[in-house]
Structure 1
Amino acid sequence: MTAERNRRWRLTLGEDSTEPSEGLGLSADDQRMDEALAALYGGGGRPGDGSGAEPRTGGLGGSAPRVATWLGDIRTYFPSSVVQVMQRDAIDRLGVRALLLEPELMESLEPDIHLVSTLISLGSAIPETSKTTARTVVRTVVDDVERRVANRTRAAVTGALNRAARTRRPKLRDIDWNRTIAKNLRNYLPEQRTVVPERLVGYGRRQQHVERDIILAIDQSGSMAASVVYASIFGAVIASLRAVRTSLVVFDTAVVDLTDELSDPVELLFATQLGGGTDINRAIAYCQGLVTRPADTVFVLISDLFEGGVRDEMLARVEQLRLAGVVVVVLLALSDEGAPAFDRALAGDLAELGVPAFACTPDAFPDLLAVALERGDIRAWAATQELDQRGMSG
């Protein structure tokens, strides 16, 4: 047990963490793991040991072959979840972003949401020779996420619409007998062994027209990259439902309506441009123009709320939407990482208007959408979830 603990500490802290006299040897595989870690995080060095060891700066350099070899090593010696973290660190810490433009290198990467975010941020900088590979990587991740969320999202939305269509004066063929019995159990007559259905519960006859409008407005600032990816995929899934009209708008200081791209989330993602300023007020003004049936509309704003536009006008527009009957939802993030840095003061102002702002995980989003479609209490729902709700109190 002691030897294994020492081995783990040695791999964690690096070569400079042990004295030559300690004689802690590594196996051939451990040595390759150590080299892969040292290339990214440096050789280590104990703080205050007087060795003069430099801070861990890594050493992958700018060589594509060297990076490709390193990627192969980490995929061999570490689990997929660790590989994704190390890839992300290599891109962020060592300036190898430009090497992602090498088709051969991209084929060696472990596809994940963060890699997709990086490729989208490169956008038009990706050369023609790499675009096909980049799209393949993005589609792999998009298809994987879509498989994970599609069925649950469709079920949540359809179920919410069914419940919203329920009526207490149904025709005989539309009665929901299970719920009717449950609602009338206090009227059970033991001697007759029956329930008197004082209140009928049923489903209204489903119409063939669009029942709800959903508008997604997504902040394209750099910190929202993962949210852009997830929101685009959810938008594409929701758009496939005939009973819902879905609009998707992305914005920085300009506003771009990408609703026509919802049939292909990969093309939609490559149409976004991550980074730049933020004008939430302008985005909401545009989305107000999309609202034709306020009482049947859900407006989801996904933003860290660092407003570069006119703050008071932005709050006034949110209040106008809410008073008109639109269900307004503000998400600080739609990702697995919790809320990013966000404007707490603006989140507090929204909360005072009755519009709480909080972070939401992709797994929780279908349920949130269902609550919004049923015009339920979003604040109460969020309080029961394991979500980052820091924005709710401002």
Structure 2
Amino acid sequence: MTHDIAVERQRRWRLLLGGAAGDLGALGEDDQRRDSALTGLYGGGDPVDAGGKRGAGLGGSSPVLHRWLGDVRTYFPSSVVQVMQKDAVERLGLRRLLLEPELLSSVEPDVSLVGTLVSLSRAIPERTRETARAVVRKVVEDIERKLADRLLAAVHGAIDRSRRTSRPRLSDVDWNRTIRKNLRHYQPDQRTVIVQDLVGNSRRSRQASLRDVILLVDQSGSMAESVVYSAVLGASLASLKAVDTKLVVFDTEVVDLTEQLKDPVDLLFATQLGGGTDINRAVAYGQSLVRRPTDTVVVLISDLYEGGVARELQRRVRELVQSGVTVVVLLALSDSGTPAYDHELAAKLSELGAPAFACTPDRFPDLLATALRREDVAAWAEQSGIPVGR
């Protein structure tokens, strides 16, 4: 082992152990700031409190926390900053401090923080609301920038394919596609293409939406990230005339937020994270929205911990599938991996024809396009390396 490697390893152990490191050596100025930030959050040889937990050094002081957030952003990469902020909220009881505008303005925004702000929305004081909305909007715009174009392109592609017809009216002929399809009939001596097959679009698409998408989103506390992504992606879908999008959130109550889809920030602050879950009631409401079953996709986003009547839920899902509705169950719509979920209920819904699996936001466009084309969603998931609930 070279001297440099040994020194670096000792340095890392010193940062890891904090004040309990003993005589592992002194730290440089930057590492002292890193050590101070880590000790403030995770402790480092401090006395234990009355509950047996090691003490942390941030206390309840907003100025101290403000400086701590500045040090964290300066001395740690963004991915680590987000983890430490999340840990700070959970370990140090900083929910109250997150309501202070000067603190919010110094926080590195991420989806987890948005979930926290939305869950606290009813308690946010007037002087902090605009700052909170600005933080939420920054994250929403970041998600839109990453995913909106992909989602719209995928949906447009699926819709365009579904509305093509081989017997279009003359004004509806897609001449570029028609020529490409008939190139095999090119006559060299006449230098022309003999058109045997026309390709065009159904006139119906100009008059009304071609597909209905109903998003049923569980707003219990464990689904916070999924609620955020659902709101942003739902708002993007709502901008398409070819798709009629409904968004419904639920816990033990069901709230239709379709009218809020114009602004995902307003939509998020209209949700109320936390509480119990009555999935059956939500699916019953979604069932009442179905107008044309074979042109409808219902996406249920829930970890399936049912507080209502599971047997009734299964009956409703069976009825939807048998009527021609494409039903997909997302155990999560987030980057946090597959959550804890009701495996037994997921397996039963999958057997009924409503495949249940977790999906990351970047894969949602392809998933929805597959569903809109009425292709096998379970097969798509398996081919994408996504385990379906069994």
TM-score higher than 0.5: yes
Counterpart residue number, 1:310: 309
The equivalent of 1:6 in structure 2 is 10
Q: Percent identity?
A: 60
Task: Report the 3-state secondary structure (helix = DSSP H, G, I; strand = E; otherwise coil) of the residue aligned with 2:300.
Answer: strand
Q: Is the 8 A contact 1:330 1:357 kept in 2?
A: yes
Deviations 1:320-377 (A, max 9, x none): 1111111111100000011211000000100111111000111000111111111111
* 1:158–1:74 CA distance, 2 compared to 1 (3 A): same
Instruction: Indicate yes or no: 2:147 matched with 1:143.
Output: no
Aligned to 1:51: none
1:269 partnered with 2:268: yes
Residue identity matched to 1:150: A
Say which SS state the counterpart of residue 26 (structure 1) adopts.
Answer: coil
Structure 1 pair 393–215 and aligned structure 2 pair: CA distance change class (3 A): closer
Structure 2 counterpart of 1:16: 20
In 2, are the aligned partners of 1:208 and 1:243 still within 8 Å (CA)?
Answer: no
Pairing 1:40–2:60 present: no
> 2:242, 2:226 → 1: CA distance?
25
**What residue in structure 2 maps to residue 369 of structure 1?**
368
Q: 1:223 & 1:328 partners in 2: Cα distance? A: 22
Q: Which residue of 2 aligns with 1:280?
A: 279
CA distance in 1, matches of 2:267, 2:243: 19
Query: Partners in 2 of 1:216 and 1:96 — Cα distance?
Result: 33
- CA contact under 8 A between 1:184 and 1:199: conserved in structure 2? no
Quote the offset at 1:268 in angstroms: 0.7
Distance 1:304 1:180, change over 3 A: farther
Partner of 2:114: 116
**Which residue does the alignment assign to 1:255?**
254
Deviations 1:284-337 (A, max 9, x none): 111111111111111110000000111111111111111111111110000001
- Number of residue pairs matched by the alignment: 379
Shift of 1:128: 1.1
Quick one: structure 1 residues 375 and 105, their matched pair in 2 at CA, closer, same or farther if it must change by over 3 Å? same
More deviation, 1-10/93-102? 1-10
Task: Give the match's secondary structure for 1:300.
Answer: strand
Match of residue 66, structure 1, among 55, 61, 64 = 64
CA offset at residue 385 of structure 1?
A: 1.7
Helix, strand or coil for the counterpart of 1:358?
strand
Mapping of residues 88-127 of structure 1, within 5 Å: 88-127=86-125
Q: In 2 relative to 1, CA 177–263 (structure 1 residues): closer, same or farther, beyond 3 Å?
A: closer
Residue of structure 1 in register with 2:32 after alignment: 31
Secondary structure at the counterpart of residue 209 of structure 2: coil
Q: Is the 8 A contact 2:98 2:104 kept in 1?
A: yes
**What residue is the counterpart of 1:78 in the other structure?**
76
Question: Compared with structure 1, are the counterparts of its residues 102 and 175 closer, same or farther at alpha carbon in structure 2 (3 Å cutoff)?
Answer: closer
Deviations 1:27-49 (A, max 9, x none): 0110010010011111159xxxx
What residue identity is the alignment partner of 2:371?
A: A
Deviation at 1:9, TM superposition (A): 2.2
Using the TM superposition, give the Cα deviation of residue 164 of structure 1 relative to its aligned residue in structure 2, in angstroms: 0.6
Q: Equivalent residue of 1:207, what SS?
A: helix
* Aligned CA distance change for structure 1 residues 28 and 323 (closer, same or farther; 3 Å): same
Change (3 A) 1:386 1:176: farther
Asked whether the 8 Å contact 2:224–2:273 carries over to 1, the reply is: yes
- Cα distance in 1, alignment partners of residues 182 and 310 from structure 2: 47
Which residue of structure 2 aligns with residue 165 of structure 1?
163
Amino acid at match of 1:275: G
Displacement of 1:393: 3.9
3-state SS in 2 of match to 1:247: strand
Give the CA deviation at 1:15: 2.8
Task: Output the amino acid matched with 1:40.
Answer: L
Which 5+ residue runs of structure 1 have no aligned equivalent?
46-53
Structure 1 contact 180–202 (Cα < 8 Å) conserved = no
Aligned Cα root-mean-square deviation (Å): 2.3
CA pair 57-319 structure 1, distance change in 2 beyond 3 A: farther
In the alignment, what sits opposite 1:300?
A: 299
Aligned to 2:49: none
Mapped to 1, the partners of 2:323 and 2:296 lie a distance apart of 10
Aligned mates of 2:124, 2:12 — CA distance in 1: 39
Code of the residue aligned with 1:322 in structure 2: it is: V
SS in structure 2 at match of 1:97: coil
Residue number in structure 2 paired with 1:342: 341
Match of 2:206 in 1: 207
- 1:13 and 1:196 map into 2 onto residues whose CA distance is 79
Does the 8 Å contact 1:302/1:331 carry over to 2? Answer: yes
Matched with 1:382 is: 381
Q: Is the 8 A contact 1:322 1:328 kept in 2?
A: yes
Distance of 1:176 and 1:330 partners within structure 2 = 40
Contact 1:166–1:203, Cα closer than 8 Å, also in 2: yes
* 1:192 to partner: Cα distance: 10
Following superposition, the deviation at residue 190 of structure 1 comes to 10
Q: d(CA) in 2 for partners of 1:37 and 1:179?
A: 65
The TM-score with structure 2 as length reference comes to 0.90
Q: CA deviation at 1:66?
A: 1.2
How far did residue 55 of structure 1 move? 5.4
Report if the CA contact (8 A) 1:174-1:204 is conserved. Answer: no
User: What amino acid maps onto 1:165 in structure 2?
Assistant: R
SS at match of 1:363: helix
Distance 1:157 1:56 in 2: 52
Shift of 1:228: 0.2
TM-score (norm 1): 0.90
